[in-house]
Structure 1
Amino acid sequence: MPKRRHLARAVFAAVTATVLGVAGCDAVGGNSPAPSGSDAASARPSPKPTPAWDRSPASVAAVGDSITTGFDACTVLADCPEVSWATGSSPQVDSLAVRLLGKANAAEHSWNHAVTGARMVDVAGQMARAVAHKPELVAVMAGANDACRDTPEAMTSVADFRTQFEDAMGTLREALPKTQVYVASVPNLMRLWEQGRTSPVGRQVWKLGICPSMLGDAESLTAAAEQRRETVQARVEAYNKVLKEVCAKDRRCRFDDGAVYEFRFGGTQLSQWDWFHPSVNGQARLAEIAYRTVTN
């Protein structure tokens, strides 16, 4: 989400200063009369069964944004993929890939194509790269950056968000029609503001440009500031509705039914650097939600 290099020194200064989701046909002979009535009904092909969801896929690919890259979980303004909820190797997180595949297999059969700062428009490209591995499951978490813009007016429109997610799913389906998809909901950005605004460190770091549409002027409780935050929150909820609806049209897609959005991130689950991205503990909670959704 943030721009790393030119902010790193400023973040360290701020921290220091504040101390820290077989059809069965009955053959009819060529000379036999066509069946009618109840016989006709029984002679029709049976509908194709809904494909069974595989609770133990043999490979996992991840796409998305900085949450999936483990940004700010280990060190300031840096990715930390080893603690990624989706594909990380850290025993502290016990990632989705490790839970599904085992540690040894996860190292060889999981791939993380998420990029810090990515928005939904970028996911189709990430999906194209993930397709090359022929994964049996793709984990998707994207959308926070679509709401985290300089102003509410700059947020991705709901219509564009829908088109972009459909494009990403189309990219996958064109190449891998049987690959399963887990879709995580967009986190509750209002909750993150509520948690971090009481932290002197968080407020100082937020001033450097982290999710300004929600976190800017963090201490202000004016009607204008509250309306701005409500506008962003409403957009996040609209994005989650899109994720649910698009996923529901795909028989091999599971949405988390808002579990990530509803998770109440607290101080322990948030990065002590920016009070916005998940900490190692937060990444572990995201892994739990994903695993529960995939295996239930």
Structure 2
Amino acid sequence: MRKRNHVLAAVVAAVAATVVGVAGCDAVGGESPAPSGTRGVKPSPTPVWDRSPESIVAVGDSITRGFDACGILTDCPEASWATGSREDVDSLAVRLLGRARAAERSWNYARTGARMADVPGQMARAVARSPELVTVMAGANDACRDSADEMTSVAAFRTSFEEAMRTLRGALPKAQVYVSSVPDLKRLWSQGRTNLLGKQVWKLGICPSMLDDADALDAAANLRRATVQKRVEDYNKVLREVCARDERCRFDGGAVYAYRFGTDQLSHWDWFHPSVDGQARLAEIAYRTVTREGDLT
């Protein structure tokens, strides 16, 4: 019996040593799972989209210049939705940077009358500032021509926008881009046509393809306006598609196009461009898009 007890004790000791040895091997690595509490924990990746950029450049057309927001047929950049300083606009730059830093770290290179073909050149100026965010709002003037036949083709519009994005990416591969949809020009016509003063200003040459003969409701006039509206929708599709191919680009999802500008949001000088209140609404849309969590194209 005593001999059997010695043999049993030796076997138990050998098994225990084997278990301890295996456990010790696993403790220093090997194929063992991580200890409880650390299993599967990985460092949080840095988000591709920075919701708090430190500098902003705006490119585009008269809307971004605040045209007719403060006076008749004149730019008012201080009322710009993108970079303006007016408190009643609360521009994107002010919301993101604060008023003092916005004055030092935001620039507006938009130009009244600009079409998408002008944006690559504006973008070349923008990259010299090394901005962390570039805002793009262009396309209204591509549709607002002397006639519907003279509107920029969808293919040419796409080529120019792609060129602008290449210009940016060639110099600043990590810069972010906010792209606004083109407003619904037919909606602006329907709101402004009730104002006699506005219609007189329209005759000076504001968006003839949509606003010419503003009171005409015959088949030809309706077809002309529908053609312009369809072209704007096609431009917005291009903006969405091109932006979607760039992980650091956010399109507003058609929010500006869908926004129902009322008379309070239209300039009381021309009843077509955004008023100060309209500029504030554009700033709100841009801020929501830029600061939204997750992807948005």
Q: TM-score range by the shorter chain?
A: 0.7 to 0.9
Q: Provide the residue aligned with 1:274 in structure 2.
A: 270
What displacement does 1:202 show? 1.2
Task: Structure 1 unaligned segments of length 5 or more: list them.
Answer: 1-48
CA distance in 1, matches of 2:48, 2:123: 23
Distance 2:283 2:82 in 1: 6
The percent of aligned pairs where both chains have the same amino acid is 76
Q: Does 1:67 align with 2:29?
A: no
TM normalised by structure 2 equals: 0.83
Q: What per-residue deviation string (whole Å, max 9, x for no partner) do you get for residues 61-83 of structure 1?
A: 00000000000000111100001
**1:21 maps to what in 2?**
none
Q: Within 5 Å, which residues of 2 pair with 1:84-99?
A: 84-99=80-95
C-alpha RMSD of matched pairs (Å): 0.9
Distance 1:50 1:164 in 2: 32
2:287 maps to which of 287, 291, 296: 291
CA shift digits 1:144-163 (9 cap, x unpaired): 00000000110000000000
Equivalences for residues 47-66 of structure 1 within 5 A:
51-66=47-62
DSSP-derived class of the 2:163 partner: helix
| SS class of match (1:292) | helix
**Deviation of 1:52 (Å):** 2.2
8 Å Cα contact 1:51/1:252 also seen in 2: no
Match of 1:185?
181
In 1, the alpha carbon distance for the partners of 2:163 and 2:266 equals 32
2:145 corresponds in structure 1 to: 149
For normalisation by structure 1, the TM-score amounts to 0.83
Confirm or deny: 8 A CA contact 2:48 2:247 kept in the other structure. no
Cα distance change of structure 1 residues 50 and 255 upon mapping to structure 2, 3 Å threshold: farther
State the distance in 2 between where 1:50 and 1:230 align: 45
Tell me, yes or no, if structure 1 residue 229 matches structure 2 residue 188. Answer: no
Residue 175 (structure 1) aligns with: 171
SS state of the match for residue 56, structure 1?
coil
| Aligned-partner residue type, residue 200 of structure 1 | L
Structure 2: how far apart are the matches of 1:205 and 1:116?
16
Mapped to 1, the partners of 2:286 and 2:267 lie a distance apart of 20
Classify the secondary structure of the residue corresponding to 2:146.
Answer: coil
Q: Which has the higher contact order (CA 8 A, sep 6+)?
A: 1
After the TM superposition, which residues 205-244 of structure 1 pair with which residues of structure 2 at under 5 Å, given as runs? Answer: 205-244=201-240
Which runs of at least 4 in structure 1 moved beyond 6 Å after TM superposition? none
Name which of 194, 200, 205 aligns with 1:204. 200
- Provide the secondary structure at the position in 1 that maps to 2:288: helix
> How far, CA to CA, are the matches of 1:51 and 1:241 in structure 2?
26
Number of aligned pairs? Answer: 248
- Gaps of at least 5 residues in structure 2 are 1-44, 293-297
- Secondary structure, aligned partner of 1:127: helix
What SS does the aligned partner of 1:228 have?
helix
Distance, in Å, in 2 between the alignment partners of 1:276 and 1:182 is 23
Partner of 2:260: 264
Deviation at 1:193, TM superposition (A): 0.5
Q: Secondary structure at the match of 1:63?
A: strand
Whole-angstrom distance in 2 between the partners of 1:129 and 1:213: 31
What letter corresponds to residue 120 of structure 1 in structure 2?
A: M
Contact 2:93 2:106 in 1 (8 A): yes
Q: Any idea what SS the aligned residue of 2:107 has?
A: strand
